[in-house]
Amino acid sequence: MKHFINIRDISINNLKKIILEAKKRKSKRKNFNTLDADKDSPLKGKLLIQMFEKPSLRTRLSFYIAIKQLNGGALTLRPDELHLNKGGESLSDTAKIISTFGNAFMLRTDNDKKLEEFKKHMTIPIINGLSFSSHPSQVLSDVFTIEEIKKKSISKLQICWIGDSNNVLNSLIEASVKFSFKLNIGCPKKYEPIKSLLRWAKKNKGKVNIFNDIKKAAMGSDVLFTDKVISMNDKVNKSKKLKDFKNFKVTSKIMSCAKKDAIFLHCLPRGSEVSNEVFLGKQSKVWQQALNRIYVQKSILLYCFGKLR
Ligand code: CP
Ligand code: NVA
């Protein structure tokens, strides 16, 4: 049984297969309605149970549509309507029930340990739909979007991240090692990525460089990423953190440091870390990026069900 919890745990062979499958399936969906099933109906009759302990728009919609397009179905649980937590039902019993009623479980949680606990007690695949420390389905989908737009392997591109060292960046660092692309990170000194992850990247021949000057980070890049300075449930002094990031905003001036044909990506939702001009400008591919989540979620599901071709 295959789980999808972190990019670092998945072989590059399987990661590439996931991307390729997404490409194949996307190309076959011209003239399909959103909920029409793919012709081969690979997950006919399968139920994906999803639970969000934090807000979500894109991940919720894309997993729902993904399983429907594979001819399965989805049920979304609200954590406040379960007996788990306040009602006193144990995680292991909850996991057992979810495993016997459903065929795969997607969880968005603040608590990375909870993903591991569920994994321990589940007999069905578990998918990380964002945790405190990672957002693997987002980043894998972003690799797909970049290769789709740039029409070349991401290993030949220079990627730049400007902003907070959060869950999305952690997964991007893992992806940069796995897919072997150069990653420049531009962030304030005291918000650099966690040392253990950087050590892991270095040990695995990662090409990760950190800059405290965003112009230097952006210089010559093919792709510029950013994300909110304040993530969901970020337990920080918000006004202080926003002030610390005052000079780390993606503006047209920063875009002009990157390559002429560079693209701008943002997982959404957005805050004040990007100017309207960039976000709504020609180089921004954020809407295509968001919609592509559907295609990569489909492949992630097929990977978990052992059905990748
Ligand atoms: N990018 C992303 O995961 O969006 P949601 O939080 O809306 O799911
Ligand atoms: N870093 C953001 C990503 C949202 C999709 C957060 O965790 O809130």
d(CA 153, CA 172): 16
Q: State the distance from the centre of ligand 1 to the C-alpha of 307, rounded, in angstroms.
A: 26
Closest Cα partner for 124 from 56, 43, 189, 214?
43
Atom of ligand 1 nearest to the CA of 60: 8
Q: Would you call 283 a catalytic residue per the annotation?
A: no
Which whole number is the average pLDDT over 103-131? Answer: 97
Contacts of 282 (CB under 8 A, 6+ apart): none
- Ligand 1 within 6 A of 56 CB? yes
Q: State the distance from the centre of ligand 2 to the C-alpha of 234, rounded, in angstroms.
A: 9
Contacts of 35 (CB under 8 A, 6+ apart): 65, 68, 69
Atom of ligand 1 nearest to the CA of 135: 3
Whether the predicted pLDDT of 212 surpasses 90:
yes
Q: What percent of the chain is predicted at pLDDT more than 70? A: 100
Atom of ligand 2 nearest to the CA of 56: 5
Can you give the pLDDT at residue 24?
Answer: 98
Can you give the pLDDT at residue 86?
Answer: 82
Average pLDDT, the chain: 97
Whether the predicted pLDDT of 19 surpasses 90:
yes
CATH superfamily placement of domain 7-134+291-304: Aspartate/ornithine carbamoyltransferase (3.40.50.1370)
pLDDT band at 85 (very low <50, low <70, confident <90, very high): confident
CATH of the domain spanning 136-290: 3.40.50.1370
Which whole number is the average pLDDT over 261-269? Answer: 98
d(CA 167, CA 133): 4
* Ligand closest to CA 139: 1
d(CA 156, CA 197): 23
Among candidate residues 142, 222, 227, 244, the one labeled active-site is: 227
Q: What percent of the chain is predicted at pLDDT more than 90? A: 98
Among candidate residues 25, 58, 266, 293, the one labeled active-site is: 293
pLDDT band at 109 (very low <50, low <70, confident <90, very high): very high
Q: pLDDT, tens digit, for every residue of 67-79?
A: 999 999 999 999 9
Q: State the distance from the centre of ligand 2 to the C-alpha of 38, rounded, in angstroms.
A: 30
Task: List all residues whose CB is within 6 A of at least one atom of ligand 2.
Answer: 130, 135, 166-168, 227-228, 231-232, 267
d(CA 286, CA 273): 14
Q: Would you call 304 a catalytic residue per the annotation?
A: no
Q: State the distance from the centre of ligand 2 to the C-alpha of 134, rounded, in angstroms.
A: 9
**Phi and psi torsions of 40, nearest 5°:** -85, -5
Q: Would you call 222 a catalytic residue per the annotation?
A: no
Nearest residue by C-alpha to atom 3 in ligand 1 = 59
Whether the predicted pLDDT of 47 surpasses 90:
yes
Whether the predicted pLDDT of 309 surpasses 90:
no
Q: State the distance from the centre of ligand 1 to the C-alpha of 59, rounded, in angstroms.
A: 5
Q: State the distance from the centre of ligand 1 to the C-alpha of 4, rounded, in angstroms.
A: 17
Atom of ligand 1 nearest to the CA of 55: 6
- How is the chain split into domains, by residue range? 7-134+291-304, 136-290
Whether the predicted pLDDT of 87 surpasses 90:
no
Among candidate residues 8, 25, 69, 138, the one labeled active-site is: 138
Nearest residue by C-alpha to atom 2 in ligand 2 = 231
Q: Would you call 38 a catalytic residue per the annotation?
A: no
* Ligand closest to CA 230: 2
Which whole number is the average pLDDT over 145-159? Answer: 98
Can you give the pLDDT at residue 284?
Answer: 98
Can you give the pLDDT at residue 169?
Answer: 98
- Ligand 1 within 6 A of 291 CB? no
Decide whether 7-134+291-304 matches 136-290 in CATH topology.
yes
Atom of ligand 2 nearest to the CA of 167: 1
192 to each of 184, 207, 211, 212, how far by Cα in Å?
12, 16, 9, 9
